[in-house]
């Protein structure tokens, strides 16, 4: 996200929590340098065991903004999220960084970031992987937007009718037209 977008967010009276990735090298480097020379204001750790996976999440909030560019309007916090665990029997470790115009406890940031990933995993991932939306090459008029709306409708329809797995729902319902129409009743 750009500094100009952050300015628009603040000027409209809203707040932001934005992921910082390596494709923003200056800010990314500033954050890493800053964390080496300061202590977190608050820390929150949680554990999750689900579907053969184990994950430990550690969220640290830093309010010391020395060496961070003042161009990021409204910046009050830097958040570091470390994920350590096992997936399919293999160990992994990931670190993500965020900047925010909010000054919250680590547990509050952890909850908000986790909810955002829930949306990402339940909607965007499904559209990308199950429906292969990124490969759909529609360039005429509003075709891409219209099909995106249809995909969202189908996802919500299946979830409303008790399907947790969209792949299973598609396989189960794809050749059963009466069942599909019964969802609309």
pTM over 0.85: no
Among 37, 55, 73, smallest CA distance to 110 is for 55
Judge whether 138 and 147 are in contact, CB under 8 Å.
Answer: yes
Judge whether 18 and 100 are in contact, CB under 8 Å.
Answer: yes
DSSP assignment, residue 133? G
| Tokens representing residue 4 in the block | 């100009």
Does the structure show a pLDDT above 60 at 120?
A: no
Domains of the chain by residue range: 3-104, 133-182
139-181 tens-digit pLDDT: 677 887 888 888 888 888 888 888 877 788 888 888 888 888 8
Supply φ then ψ for residue 76, to 5 degrees. Answer: -125, -25
Q: CA-CA distance, 106 to 185, in Å (whole number)?
A: 45
More confident residue, 15 or 173: 15
């Amino acid at each position: 996200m750009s500094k100009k977008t952050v300015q628009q967010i603040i000027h409209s009276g809203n707040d932001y929590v934005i992921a910082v990735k390596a494709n923003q090298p200056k800010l990314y480097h500033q954050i890493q340098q800053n964390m080496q020379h300061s202590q977190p204001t608050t820390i929150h750790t949680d554990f999750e065991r689900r579907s053969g996976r184990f994950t430990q999440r550690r969220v640290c909030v830093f309010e010391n903004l020395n060496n961070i560019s003042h161009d990021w309007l409204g910046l009050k916090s830097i958040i570091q999220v470390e994920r350590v665990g096992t997936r399919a029997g293999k160990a992994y470790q990931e670190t993500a960084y965020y900047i925010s115009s909010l000054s919250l406890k680590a547990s509050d940031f952890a909850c908000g970031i986790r909810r955002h990933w829930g949306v990402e995993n339940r909607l965007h991932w499904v559209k990308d992987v199950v429906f292969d939306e990124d490969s759909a090459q529609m360039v005429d008029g509003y075709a891409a937007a219209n099909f995106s709306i249809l995909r969202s409708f189908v996802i919500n329809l299946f979830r409303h009718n008790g399907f947790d797995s969209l792949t299973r729902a598609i396989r189960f319902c794809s050749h059963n037209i009466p069942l599909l129409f019964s969802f609309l009743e």
